[in-house]
Each structure stands twice: as C-alpha cells, then as structure tokens.
Amino acid sequence: MEAELTALAASGATTLVGLMVSESWERTKGALGRFFGRRAAGEDAEEELQASSAELGSAQAAGDVSTQANLQARWQQRLEEIFREDPGAAQELAGLLSELAPDASHTFVSLVSGGVNYGPAFQGSHIHGGITFNIQPAPSGPGPHALPDQVPVTMVPFSNRTAELAVLDQTLGTQGGGLGPVRVGILDGLPGVGKTTMAWRWAERARSRFPDGQLYVDFAALRTQSAPQAGAGADVSEALAMCLRSLPGSDSIPSSLAERTNLFRSRSAGLRILLVLDDVNQPAHVRALIPKGPGSAVLVTGRGRLGELALDGARLISVKPLDAHGGLALLKDRCGQEAVTAEPQAAQRLVELCGGLPVALQVVAARLITDTSLSMTELAAELGDEAGRLAGMALDGEESSVSAVLGPSYRLLPASAARLYRLLGWLPVGVFDAGVAAVAADLDTPRAKRLLGVLTKASLVEVWGDGRYRMHDLVRLHARERAVDEEQESEQEALIGRVGTHYLALTAFADRALRQERLRIADLSAVLRDADDPFSAPGGPPPLEWLDTERGAVLAVLRMAARHGLHTLVWQLAEAFTVLFLHRRYLGTWKESLELGAEAAAASADTAAEARLRSLLSRPLLDLGENDRAATELDQAVVLAEASGHLVLRASVQEFLGRYRDLFEPSRAVEAYQRSLELNERAGEARGAAIAAFFLGCAQDAQGDHTQALATLRRALQDLESREEPDRRMAARVRAAIGVARDHLGQSEEAIGDLREAARALREVGATHYEAQALVQLADIAQRTAGREDLVRECLTRAVEIYEAAGSRTAERLRQRLDGLGR
C-alpha cells in the first residue's frame, strides 16, 4: 500500500542520511553504490552518494537545516521509486544494512521485517527531530477555567473534500460512542492546497465528539516569535505552555520541556479533547503534544515530510489538488453558478492553469469578482500567455509561489490600496492591526481600515480576528518585491522608524501602567506627549497581556530596526520591553532583546543606556546558566555606570552586582548592597533604597550577622509599607526575610508570626512562588517546636499544591516529608 511504501522510504532515507555522516560510511558506501547503481540508468551511484555525503557534512557544519531536509527528501523520493518498481528492493536493502551497519539501521530493518508496533505508541515516544528547544517559563493566565474552543472558523464556503472529510471521520472519530485510544491524523500536501481550512472545517463538524473542548496551536506564529538561535522548528516549549494554560488545573507552568510534557499528559488524562496543530514542520512538534485522555484526537497540518510519525501509529491523509470537478465547484461558490455556466471552457482552463490549488483559484476568483469587466475567457488567455505564471502557480514542495497570480491582482488595485499593499510587505510581522497598517503607510486609522477592506476583498489580506489582519507569507513576499521595485530606497527605513516608534510608545505606556516608579534611562516625554494611552482608557487592554501577545512583533521590530541602524529606537524599545520579563520569564526573547539594546546603546555612545541594558542582561544570563558572561556584562556595566555619573543607575548596577555575588561571591555581596543603598539615599530614591536594604539584610543574615540583618530588614519593611504607592509584594518578601532572621536569633514564636503573615500576603498578591518558599521556611521552624505538627502539615500541604501545579520536583520531596510526619 502507498502509505506503507512511503513509511519504508522515509525510514530508509533517514538511515541513509545518518550513515553519510557516520563512521560507518566508508565501509557501507560501496555496497550502497552497487545497490543504487543496479537501478540507475548509467549514472555513477557511488559518486552521487559521496557528493550527497559531502553536501550533508557542509550543511551540518553551517547549521543549514533546509539543505539537510531537502537532501533527505531527495533520497526518500529515490527509494519510493525503487520500492515501487521492485517490491524486493526493500528486503535487499534491509539485509545489506543489517550486515554492514546493524545499530544505525535497526528501525528500518524492523519495519521491513514486520517488527513494528503500529499501536498508539506516542505517550512513551522519544522527542527528537533536530530541534533546539527554547525553554521559556510562562505563568498561567488569571480567572476561572473556560472550556477551550480555539480552532478558528472557516469564513468562506467550503467546497468538495467529501472523501477527505470522511477519512478524517473514520480516523479521528470515536466508534459507537466508545472512547478508544488517542488517534492522530496528519493532513499532508502541497502548500496552498487547503490543509488548514480542511482542519478547521472538520473541527467544526466534530465539535460534539470532544466534550472537553478543542485546542489550537499555530506553529507558524510560534516560529515568528522564536529567537533565531531556537533552531529549526518552532518553540515546542511555548506550545505546551499555551495548551496547559487552556486546561483546568494548570495554575502554574513549569520551566523545563520534560516537566511541561509530563504535566500536559497528566492534565489531559481525564479529558476528551481535540488538538489541532497547524503548520508543523518537524515530527517532534507532534510527539510532545499528544494528550493522554481516551477518545482524544490530534489533527496535524504540516509542511515538509512528517511520514516518520506513521511509525508511531499516526494516519497520513494526503490532500491532493482539486480535480476538475472540485476546481469548478470552488469557482461556482465564489463567482456564482451563472458565471461558470456562461463560460464553461474558460472556467475549466482556469482550473487547469491553477493546477487545482485552492490558494491560486481564490485569487483568480477575486480578480473576476472585483473587476466585473473581466471575463473568464480573457483571464484564461492572460494567464496562458505568460510562461512564468504556470511555474508561479505550480507549488513544488517547500518552495511555493503564487506570485504569477498575485501580480495581475495587484495591478487591479487602486493606487492608494496598492501602496498600502507594498508597504505592508516591509512589516517585520505578518499579523497586524489597523493601527500598525496606518503607521506603516503614514495614514490615519479610518483610511487604513478602508484600504485594508479593499485588500481583503482582493484576497491579498485576510481578517484574522480580534480586529487584526494577516498577510500570508508568500503574499507578503510578493508585496515586498513590489515595494523594492516601486518605492524609493529611503522609504523602508522611514517605515521601520514609524512602526518602531509606534511600538515604542505602546510598550512604554504598558511599562508605566504596570509600575509607574521604576528606573528608566530613556526620556520618552516627546514620544508620549501627543500619543493616546490605550491602557488608561476605560475598557482598555490589560498591559501585561498586551505585552505578552505582542512580544513576537516587538522582537521582530527590534531586529529589523537594528539591521537598519536605528540605534536610539532599539535601545529605548529594549529598555521599555524588559518590564514584560520581570513578570513572565521568556528567557530567550529577554536575552536577545537586551543584547540588541546594549549593542545599539554602545553604537549610540550612550553610556548610561548601555550600563542599564548590560546590567539588566545579567538577569536572563544567570537564569540560563551563562554565569561567566553575566559577570562580564556586570563588570562592563559598573564601569559604564560610574562614567555616566547617574546616581540611581550606579545604585541599580550595584544591586545587580550584589545578586550575582550572592551566588558566586557571597562574602562580597554585602559590600555591593551597601554601595547600592548609599547611592540610592544620595539620589533621594526611597523605593530603590528600600529594595537595596532588603537584599542587604538577606546578605547580612546569610553571613551570620543576624542582629544587624534584622535591623536592616525592619527599615526596608517600614519604607515599603509607608509609601504613597505601597509595594505589597516586596513588603511581604521582606517580612518573610525578617521571620528567617528572627529564627536565627532564637525568636521562634515571632518568626512563626512573621512568616504566617508573609505567606498570607504573598498569596493575596498572587506571588505563589514566594508564598511556597515562606511556607516551607515556616514548616521548618514549626517542626523544631513541640506541638506544632498541625501547622507543619498545613504549610507543607499548601506548598506541595503550589509546586505540583508548577510541575516542580520539589513537590515530591515535600510530599515524602509530609508522609513521614507522625512516624
């Protein structure tokens, strides 16, 4: 059968490519050359294999994942042809490989010999696929759990695909009302063939089969948000976090991929859900996201070859281009029955010219609808006369283009809409709102909305939801090409400046909404003076949620502005953007944004800005374990801050230095915190002084100076609680530290009271991580005090709940401690 043949070829190609860069290659290439040579028409097979080995080695050294994937795809296609023509070839190749390279060929040999388990093996599968995972801690959103219903709805009539939908019903639907195993279906086909729309349509039809809801992950959007060093594929860690936030019981999200994967399996075990994974390009994307609840299903749309998932029990469903009947039905849906009936031969010709690809047919229909003077016969003649059009509409694997169709549609646009289209091609992101479009084209927002409506009707832009718009990647490429050809050379940099300033203003407003009183080097008064603050308006967006949603766009703007040398814009935006990461630690994005900002500040010769950004950069570097580099950044920041003469900045840098020394030079941490406190006091910075005093008190306590630590911490608490804008979270942390210091001084009862109050306050402000720390400290003291077993049990039980929700291993240690009480 075709599916089995494809699976054999995929496994064989994987084995072959692996051998090409292994120590076994020299002893296997001769025999493999003879195997392929007997099936080649006069070609030197061994020479071809050696050339592929050299190409693969160069691609791996350069980190060129695309070339590696294309090479493997070529050999898979060769093996498919061989296995199809010679049914005994697979057995011959398996025997050859099992003799020459038994370890490397185990999977392929087992598949050929029938030793493969085709059952649902996903739950224990190893996650692999050449992806560098970017682990980014992400807390869950507030509020009560709502049934997830995330799969977008189809906005246009859905034509044909009856057979494919029936296969999906059979593959993913439950039989006879029973639950059954978790099932996985993969929609496979050319880009633009309609896989995503089909997945959305089937999800609508199957809503009643999944009573616990439907989850949706768009990997194309995640790839846009990921830092370049995240490697091939999207951020699977963030995909898991998104799903966990949508499931009941996930109050906190763990930081590691393994813990997130395990927590997702646990949270989904009692649920029957549908998970739609859109635009997947690596098998590992799927393996990490298989739910555990009986009767659940995963529907995947993918680019690239995901055939190896068939070895795990997935069903590959091939989505072919529409046949003549299906293509005509689509034209009838869009243009009307009468139009197709009036010009049947021209309609058939259009379907042929579009190769049956829905994405091309949609654009053809849009031209006919928006230009009532254009007939199908005229359009078919136009497309047929241009040799490049067939190549443009004939999508080939990963390389696809409909520019041949987009060109005429673009030429039909009014001049103002065509200009907006071109400028949108220069946006660094594909999803945007009308405000961003207006800024890009230097228009007012109502005008931009009207022009976006023109582009939407022409199928060049689609309405995405939440008042936003989306430009397909290929359409955006075409728009960018037109901009390069038709716009002045200086316009792109001007556009990036306008869009960057737009995001700078919004990010700065969000920063100030989250905490008004914070050290900021950038003077943005001129930028913010005439701008509207959406976060202060009634019903405005929550600032933290806006920053989280737009973090991919902000990072993309930072990258592009840096490439165009807009140094001041880059460092100012990076400084304002960092407020997001003080609440949600997306470490990779935080690190990259601060690196861009620090480099831009250095290029601007702004000493204070560079000192600020390098000191901030030490935070994600420490969290990522890049300790030596964190020390280097701090050393530079200290020198730069001293040169700047900025007292508050110097105090802040000393505080960051103290936090580094807490970990690696504890005997010198007190010195840094004392310096920070002194500088804050000289600058009249009361809150900064209070925070410096908190860290100083903790460092004094750690060094054994408990009496002085208690005095320092009491002062910090008083200063934080007496402020006009009390900092309840920091005050509660200080109170917990006071409790620990009192315990060290033998004041156990007072310590218990302080820690109880601190834990209560931390719970009220949602700081569960610090609440758990305070509870464990309280349990430690109570356990040393007679008659406090109930308090110990109460504290540890709550701490276990917090750590279990976060997927932390600390939960198991504390549970063992709980079980041992009373023995």
Token look-up 């700065």 returns: 508
Residue of 407, 402, 352, 404 whose CA lies nearest to 376: 352
Tokens of 703: 């060094």
Please tell me the predicted confidence (pLDDT) of residue 92: 82
Token look-up 């949602």 returns: 766
Token look-up 């009532």 returns: 372
Tokens of 327: 């293509």
Average pLDDT of the segment spanning 484-491: 91
Q: What is the pLDDT of residues 305-336, one digit of tens each?
A: 576 777 778 888 888 778 888 889 888 888 88
> What is the enclosing helix (H) or strand (E) of 316?
strand 315-318
Tokens of 197: 């729309």
- Region of 787 please: left (phi>0), alpha (psi -120 to 50) or beta: left
Average pLDDT of the segment spanning 666-681: 93
Give counts: helices (H), strands (E), the chain. Answer: 40, 8
Please tell me the predicted confidence (pLDDT) of residue 58: 72
The residue among 236 and 533 whose pLDDT is bigger is 533
Binning pLDDT at 50, 70 and 90, where does residue 129 land?
very low
Q: What is the pLDDT of residues 543-557, one digit of tens each?
A: 989 999 899 999 999
Please tell me the predicted confidence (pLDDT) of residue 697: 95
Tokens of 255: 């930081």
Binning pLDDT at 50, 70 and 90, where does residue 119 land?
very low
For residues 365 and 157, what is the distance between their CA atoms, to the nearest angstrom?
13
**Angle, to 10 degrees, between the axis of helix 551-563 and the axis of helix 587-603?**
30
Residue of 84, 78, 77 whose CA lies nearest to 32: 78
B/e letters for 165-184, b = 16+ CB within 10 Å, e = fewer, are bebbeebbbbeeeeeeebbb
* Beta strands 462-465; 468-470: pairing state: antiparallel
Please tell me the predicted confidence (pLDDT) of residue 333: 85
Radius of gyration of the chain (CA): 31
Phi/psi at 520 (5° precision)? -135, 130
Please tell me the predicted confidence (pLDDT) of residue 386: 40
Most confident range, picked from 5-19, 280-294, 701-715, 784-798: 701-715
Please tell me the predicted confidence (pLDDT) of residue 115: 35
Q: What is the pLDDT of residues 600-615, one digit of tens each?
A: 999 999 999 999 999 9
Binning pLDDT at 50, 70 and 90, where does residue 118 land?
very low
Binning pLDDT at 50, 70 and 90, where does residue 113 land?
low
What Å distances lie between residue 38 and 84, 379, 612, 653, CA to CA? Answer: 15, 49, 67, 70
Q: What is the pLDDT of residues 217-256, one digit of tens each?
A: 888 777 666 544 444 434 688 888 888 888 887 667 887 8
- The distance in angstroms from the start CA to the end CA of the chain is 63
Residue 142 has pLDDT above 50, yes or no: no
Binning pLDDT at 50, 70 and 90, where does residue 562 land?
very high
Q: What is the pLDDT of residues 703-762, one digit of tens each?
A: 999 999 999 999 999 999 888 878 888 899 999 999 999 999 999 999 999 999 999 998
B/e letters for 360-398, b = 16+ CB within 10 Å, e = fewer, are bbbbbbbbbbeeeeeebeebbeebeeeeebeebbbbeee
For residues 587 and 578, what is the distance between their CA atoms, to the nearest angstrom?
11
Please tell me the predicted confidence (pLDDT) of residue 102: 59
The residue among 346 and 313 whose pLDDT is bigger is 346
**Bridge partners (DSSP) listed for residue 300:** 186, 277
Residue 173 has pLDDT above 80, yes or no: no
Phi/psi at 279 (5° precision)? 60, 50
Tokens of 733: 């942390």
Residue 390 has pLDDT above 60, yes or no: no
Binning pLDDT at 50, 70 and 90, where does residue 139 land?
very low
Please tell me the predicted confidence (pLDDT) of residue 448: 95
Average pLDDT of the segment spanning 790-798: 92
Q: pLDDT > 90: what percent of the chain?
A: 37
Mean pLDDT over each residue of the chain, to the nearest integer: 82
Average pLDDT of the segment spanning 376-388: 71
How many CB atoms lie under 10 A from the CB of residue 815? 16
Residue 162 has pLDDT above 80, yes or no: no
Please tell me the predicted confidence (pLDDT) of residue 676: 95
C-alpha 245: how far from its chain's center? 14
**Angle, to 10 degrees, between the axis of helix 434-441 and the axis of helix 445-457?**
100
Please tell me the predicted confidence (pLDDT) of residue 123: 32
Query: What is the DSSP code string of 541-610?
Result: PPHHHHHHHTHHHHHHHHHHHHHTT-HHHHHHHHHHHHHHHHHS--HHHHHHHHHHHHHHHHHTT-HHHH
The residue among 222 and 422 whose pLDDT is bigger is 422
Binning pLDDT at 50, 70 and 90, where does residue 445 land?
very high
